[in-house]
Amino acid sequence: MYTVIFLQEGVGSLMSMLPFLAIIVVFYFFMIRPQMNRQKKEKAFQSEIKKGAKVVTSSGIHGKIAEINDTENTVTVETGAGKIKFERSAISMELTNKKLAPAKK
């Protein structure tokens, strides 16, 4: 008799936790996992930037890559106003004629 009561309480607490666990699983597959994929793509895009590519920075500045410094992880962008040094992570998309590849955030 006591065993049945304890078993029913265990099943009841498991059933009350089921919606909470389902929310965590849905949150992972719809929020966390896609964000991780976007970050991987953005990192790959930023590492593949080449000299001469037309780009747009995250602040909206359009220009052409004039120089890449791998040791400092910076790029020099040539704009209409002159040359500006940016962190590589500030480049948000490439605007070459071959492809328009936005880095989704």
The tens digit of pLDDT for each residue in 62-72 reads 999 999 998 89
- 75 φ, ψ to 5°? -130, 150
Q: What percent of the chain shows pLDDT beyond 70?
A: 79
Where are the chain's structural domains? 48-102
The pTM is what? 0.60
| Per-residue model confidence as pLDDT tens digits over 6-57 | 555 666 677 788 889 999 999 999 999 999 998 898 888 888 888 998 999 9
What's the CATH fold of domain 48-102? SH3 type barrels. (2.30.30)
Percent helix / strand / coil, the chain, rounded to 5: 45, 30, 25
Extract the tokens encoding 28: 């992972």
